[in-house]
Each structure stands twice: as structure tokens, then as C-alpha cells.
Structure 1
Amino acid sequence: MKKQRKFALIFCLVLLIALAFGTTAYAAPTGDVAGAIEGTWRDASGQIKTVVNKVVFPAIDLILAVFFFAKLGLAYFDYRKHGQFEWAAPAILFACLVFTLTAPLYIWTILGM
């Protein structure tokens, strides 16, 4: 009996919190949901662009640069050991690094921002 009472009390408390903090969101007086979404996107797109340019792309560039130089070093050691230099992995990492370094210059025009 105590478990049922405790469950009912927790359920009522969660329901009360949901009702207290849950508010109805209106798109506009006319009910234009698409317009509200477009307005929100216009307001947030500048912030998203700034965060991606200043945080995301540099983090990806750093990771790719570390992997590129590590793979280049490992390829050199393999060359010293076996006498054959494997170019595929360093070349792919270098191409990805160049792509992400130059991406902020053109990615926003492709996305239409």
C-alpha cells in the first residue's frame, strides 16, 4: 500500500510541475507556424554561423592536423622499415584538412546563409 501511495504522490508532483511550467506557445495571432519558424531561423542563423566558424571548424581542423602529422610520421617510419612509402592515408587526411580549412569561405553560400 505504501508503494502505491508513494507512486501516486510522485505522479501527482510530476504532473503538477508539468502543468506549472508548461505554457502554450503561439506562432502568431494568425496561426502562421511557418512564419514563426522562419523568423526564429533568421534570428539564430547568425549565431549558428559564428559558433560553427569559430568553434566547430577549428576543432575539426585541429583534429585532422594532428591525425595528418601522426600518419605522416608513421608512414615515414614504415618507409624506413620496409622501403616503401604509403601515400594514400596522408593524402586523404591532407585533402580533408584543406577542405575543412577552406569550408567557411563557401559553405554558407551553398547553404544559402
Structure 2
Amino acid sequence: MKKTKKLLLVLGAALVLASIFCVAAHAAPSGDVAGAIEGTWNDASDQIKTVVNKVVFPAIDLILAVFFFAKLGMAYFDYRKHGQFEWEAPAILFACLLFALTAPLYIWQILGM
């Protein structure tokens, strides 16, 4: 009986705290949910573009550049060892690096932003 009372007391306290911290969210006085979402997206899209252009793309570029030069070095040492240069992996990494370096110039037009 004592355990049940404690459990009910804890659940009651959790219910009271949940009801205190709950906030009613209204889209607009007219109830236009789609308009509220579009407005939020329009406000946030410039910030998203800035973060992606200044943080995400440079991070991807850095990772691809490190992989490209590491793979190029490994291909050179394989060439010295075996006498045959394997160019496929460095070429693919170089193409990906060029794509990632130039992506901020056209990606937002493709996405319609």
C-alpha cells in the first residue's frame, strides 16, 4: 500500500510539472499552420545557408583534401614499389573535391533557395 501511494504521488507530481511547463502553441490567429511553417523557414533559410556555406562545405573540403593527398601519396609509394601508378582513386577524390569546392556556387539555385 505504501509503495502504491509513493508511485501515485510521483506520477501526480510529474503530471503537475508537465502541465506547468506545457505551453500552448498557436500557428496564427487564423489557424494557418502552413503559413507559420513557411514563415519560419523563410526566417531560418538565410541562417542555414550561412552555416552550410561557412562550416559544412569547408569541413567536407578539408576532409576530401586530406584523403586526396593521402591517397596520392599512397599511390606514389605503390608506384615506386610495383612500377604501376593506380590513378583511379586519386582521380575520384579529386573530382569529389572539385564538386565540393564549387557546390556553394550553384547548390542553392538547384534547391530553389
TM-score, L = length of structure 1 = 0.91
Q: What stretches of structure 2 of length at least 5 have no aligned partner?
A: none
Task: Name the residue aligned to 1:64.
Answer: 64
**Cα distance change of structure 1 residues 14 and 89 upon mapping to structure 2, 3 Å threshold:** farther
Secondary structure of 2:25 counterpart: coil
**Cα distance change of structure 1 residues 75 and 5 upon mapping to structure 2, 3 Å threshold:** farther
Task: Name the residue aligned to 2:16.
Answer: 16
Count of aligned positions: 113
Query: Does 1:111 find its partner at 2:96?
Result: no
Task: Name the residue aligned to 2:32.
Answer: 32
Cα distance in 2 for residues equivalent to 1:79 and 1:2? 78
For residue 4 of structure 1, report the CA deviation from its aligned partner.
4.2
Deviation track 1:53-105 (CA, whole Å, cap 9, x = no partner) reads 00000000000000000000000001111111111111111011000100000
% identity of equivalent residues: 78
Task: Name the residue aligned to 2:55.
Answer: 55
For residue 3 of structure 1, report the CA deviation from its aligned partner.
4.9
TM-score, L = length of structure 2 = 0.91
Task: Name the residue aligned to 2:89.
Answer: 89
Cα distance in 1 for residues equivalent to 2:88 and 2:9? 63
**Cα distance change of structure 1 residues 76 and 4 upon mapping to structure 2, 3 Å threshold:** farther
Cα distance in 2 for residues equivalent to 1:82 and 1:35? 64
Query: Does 1:75 find its partner at 2:75?
Result: yes
For residue 20 of structure 1, report the CA deviation from its aligned partner.
1.5
- Which amino acid in structure 2 is aligned with residue 109 of structure 1? Q
Report runs of 4+ in structure 1 exceeding 6 Å deviation: none
- Which amino acid in structure 2 is aligned with residue 77 of structure 1? F
